[in-house]
């Protein structure tokens, strides 16, 4: 059965991402301030690992990472059917063979299987139930990389400051959800947090 996260309790942003705005996600100008290579360097994925892109949107980053690391299996997860349509179109257009687009019904089969998770521009949209599911897909030593718009810096791009977290608030939320968090060097407009299951 196809599950969708209707319960967004705990999410910082009041509404879901509007699929009508999907085109802004495909702007490769984003690579200037969040580079795919920098994300891979932070994730340190072993050969042939499964990387879950949690909230993959149109797949700009899922595909860029898969192209840079053909050994990976990239699972691009999104809860909105419109975004999955965009994702599947992009996968077909680029011809990349190591990315699959999935909805949340795939999460059960992924439990404990991910060598890494990328959550880019998505923490502020995740409810508590989704954060639990994200934690559950990680294998024991795997890292979830949370890269999200920083509420503490002035930005010419991205959501309003009151829809996103300061690094401190993000760390607090992740620790409360069962992660151990390491603060990595911030990007121009984003904080970078490497989170692992707390033991």
Ligand X SMILES: C[S@@+](CC[C@H](N)C(=O)[O-])C[C@H]1O[C@@H](n2cnc3c(N)ncnc32)[C@H](O)[C@@H]1O
Quick check: 148 binds ligand X (CB under 6 A)?
A: no
Give the Cα separation of 197 and 143 in Å (integer). 8
Contact code string over 52-91 relative to ligand X, x by CB under 6 A: ---xxx--xx---------------xxxx--x--------
* 17-29 as b/e: b if 16+ CB within 10 A: bebeebeebeeee
Structure tokens, 123: 């923490």
Asked if residues 143 and 159 have their Cβ atoms less than 8 Å apart, the reply is no
Contact code string over 4-43 relative to ligand X, x by CB under 6 A: -x-----------x-------x------------------
Residue number, 21 or 199, with CB nearest to ligand X: 21
Residue number, 72 or 83, with CB nearest to ligand X: 83
* Per-position DSSP letters for 114-165, written without gaps between them: EEEEEEES-GGG--HHHHHHHHHHEEEEEEEEEEEE-TTS--SSSS-GGGS-
Report in angstroms how near the CB of residue 52 gets to ligand X at its nearest.
10
Binding site for ligand X (CB under 6 A): 5, 17, 25, 55-57, 60-61, 77-80, 83, 104, 120-122, 125-126, 130
């Amino acid at each position: 059965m196809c599950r969708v996260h209707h319960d967004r309790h705990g999410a910082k942003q009041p509404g879901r991402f509007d699929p009508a705005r999907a085109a802004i996600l495909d702007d490769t100008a984003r690579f200037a301030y969040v580079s795919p290579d920098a994300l891979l360097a932070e994730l340190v994925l072993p050969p042939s690992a499964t990387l879950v892109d949690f909230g993959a949107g149109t797949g700009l980053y899922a595909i860029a990472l898969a192209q840079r690391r053909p050994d990976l299996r990239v699972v691009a997860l999104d809860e909105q059917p419109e975004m999955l349509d965009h994702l599947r179109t992009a996968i077909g257009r680029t011809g990349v063979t190591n990315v699959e687009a999935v909805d949340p019904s795939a999460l059960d089969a992924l439990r404990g299987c991910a060598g890494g998770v990328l959550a880019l521009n998505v923490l502020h949209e995740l409810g508590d139930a989704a954060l639990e599911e994200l934690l559950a897909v990680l294998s024991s030593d795997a890292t979830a990389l949370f890269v999200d718009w920083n509420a503490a810096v002035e930005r010419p791009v991205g959501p309003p400051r009151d829809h996103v977290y300061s690094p401190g608030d993000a760390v607090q939320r992740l620790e409360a959800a069962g992660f151990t968090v390491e603060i990595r060097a911030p990007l121009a407009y984003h904080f970078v947090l490497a989170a692992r299951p707390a033991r």
